[in-house]
Amino acid sequence: MGCKAIGGRYDPGNRAHRLARSACVTTVSLAGLVLVWWFLSVAIDRQMLPSPPEVWDALADLFANGDSMTGRSAWTYIGSSFSTFIKGFLLAFAVAFPLGLALGYFNLLREFASPAFEVLRPIAPVAWAPVFVILFGYQIGPMMVVFVGIFFPLMTSVIFGVRKIEPNWTDAAKTLGASPLQIFCKVVVPASIPYLMNGVKVGLGIGWMCIVSAELYASPVGGIGFYISNQASAGYWPGVFSGIFLVGVLGIATVGAADYLHRSLSKRMGVDAS
């Protein structure tokens, strides 16, 4: 096979070998996905399931000439989705981190807040989309859906992190003369950061799913989600799939970036990333 040709036997200790191996595995996996898709599109033979080359052409056309129905370019859609996504994320971060710290630290507060949050948490964020779009408008609505999607995993991770802090760390700080406020700032906050990053990682994945589905509702100003629903209502299925393809690729990029951030920060904070 191709992998073996690089340098005789596979050596797991060799970085180049590992990279080449994972590249091979990824390629095979993705090629398999395309083949299955291709096979299904031929076997089912309905226009709702276009073949890979048709979708590829639609995607290339979208990037080269923009969306012929709205005149917007591919980058406008991507930019719009990303900006909503980032804003929703930042808002969730700004609320969930301090709230998680407080709920983790003050037991009474957590006891009172938990039942309320437990009721809200299992609600799929998209369920709020129709409400938010009307309540906050097309601009803010989808952002709020992303906010809800990221908020809960983030807050839960921070609470968990604060409660998991080594009692010996706080004891050591106390015997070194730290006040409760100093313990909070210099022990509780830094110790919870790896957990926060874990929440960010999970949250970004969920948030990305939320943004596209929320945009399906928020027609006029939407990003990729809007493009997909618009193409579907026009009955141009290769266009729909080129949108879906974009969502997938950008999703991988987002999660990959979050994963990298999580690992490097956890390492910096001296805690195992897991």
Partner 1 sequence: MKRAAPVAKAPRFGEERGVQIVIDGLGKTYRREDRETEVIEGFSLEIRRGELISFVGPSGCGKTTLLKLIAGLIPPSSGAVYIDGRLCAEPGADRGMVFQDFALFPWRSVRKNVEFGLEVAGVPRADRRERAERYLRLVGLEKFADSRVSELSGGMKQRVAIARALVVGPDVILMDEPFGALDAQTRNIMQNQLTDILASTDQTIIFITHSVDEAIFLSDRVVVQTKRPMRIKEIVEIPWERPRDRSSMEFVELRKRILSELEKENVMDV
Query: How far is Cα 203 from Cα 151, in angstroms, rounded to an integer?
Result: 7
Residue of 34, 124, 91, 75 whose CA lies nearest to 224: 75
Smallest distance, Å, CB 156 to partner 1?
A: 22
CB 205 within 8 A of CB 251: yes
Smallest distance, Å, CB 182 to partner 1?
A: 5
Token pair 């729909």 is found at 240
Task: Name the residue nearer to partner 1 (CB basis): 22 or 107.
Answer: 107
Smallest distance, Å, CB 257 to partner 1?
A: 22
Does residue 215 sit in helix, strand or coil? helix
Task: Name the residue nearer to partner 1 (CB basis): 99 or 173.
Answer: 173
Smallest distance, Å, CB 6 to partner 1?
A: 33
Residue 177, number of CB atoms within 10 A of its CB:
7
Smallest distance, Å, CB 167 to partner 1?
A: 9
Which residues make Cβ contacts (< 8 Å) with residue 271, sequence separation at least 6?
191, 194
265 token code pair: 């920060």
Q: Which residues bind partner 1 (CB under 8 A)?
A: 166, 168-169, 171-179, 182, 186-187, 190-191, 193, 268-271
Task: Name the residue nearer to partner 1 (CB basis): 59 or 188.
Answer: 188
Task: Name the residue nearer to partner 1 (CB basis): 179 or 233.
Answer: 179
Q: Positive or negative, the Cα torsion across 110, 123, 86, 140?
A: negative
Task: Name the residue nearer to partner 1 (CB basis): 17 or 163.
Answer: 163
Smallest distance, Å, CB 204 to partner 1?
A: 23
94 class by beta-carbon count within 10 Å (0-12 exposed, 13-18 middle, 19+ buried): exposed
Task: Name the residue nearer to partner 1 (CB basis): 174 or 263.
Answer: 174
Say how many Å lie between the first and final Cα of the chain, rounded: 33
